[in-house]
Copies of this chain bind each other. A is one copy, B any other.
């Protein structure tokens, strides 16, 4: 059972940030985020999420053309932007991740619609784990879905043809697709707007 302070950090006082303090995010803390988020549950332990952490101006500039105009300043000024993506060939890792049932790999390999549904749902879950883990480590988040997924996929995941001038440094097979992006850093509370309301329990939930 978490104490009140922890619940505030994760949920009650946490906010989505668009302005950032001038305080860097270390590679070490990005690795610590992953070492927490990886434990979150996924279907058949499939772990379909793949994450690209953009830390440099050069990397951010590759993202800029895909962003909706309103999302450019907050993203370009964030210390780090995470591209939360999913691998449509995640099932090739199941012999390692789900060793007690070797048939699971083939069940996915022969069901492309199930693969897509599973990859999208579970990479979204893992994206939420990433945000909660980041908050747990003292960071703030700014998740964004207002961008051109196809442009991101072409630029970062070789979804189009091979590109000159950039190493195909990761996920070169063209099976990775972007889900959403998330700015990471230490948020500037002085720039926050008042918080928007949420639905009441009775509007969102039913007890049967």
Contacts and interface: CB of A to CB of B under 8 A. Distances in A.
Interface of A: 1-3, 6-7, 9-12, 14, 16, 27, 30-31, 34-41, 43, 45, 47, 49-56, 59, 93, 96-100, 118, 120-122, 124-129, 131-133, 136-138, 141, 143, 145, 169-171, 179-180, 193, 196-199, 201, 203-208
Copy number in the complex reads 2
B2 A208 contact: no
A167 to B, nearest CB: 11
Contacts of A49: 204
Contact of A6 (B35, B136, B180): B136
Contact of A204 (B9, B38, B141): B38
Given A124-B124, A199-B93, A208-B55, A2 B11 contact: no
Contacts of A99: 196-197
A208 B11 contact: no
10 contacts: A3-B6, A11-B36, A12-B39, A47-B199, A56-B208, A97-B196, A97-B197, A125-B127, A125-B128, A126-B128
Contact of A11 (B31, B37, B125, B143): B37
Contacts of A16: 41
A130 to B, nearest CB: 10
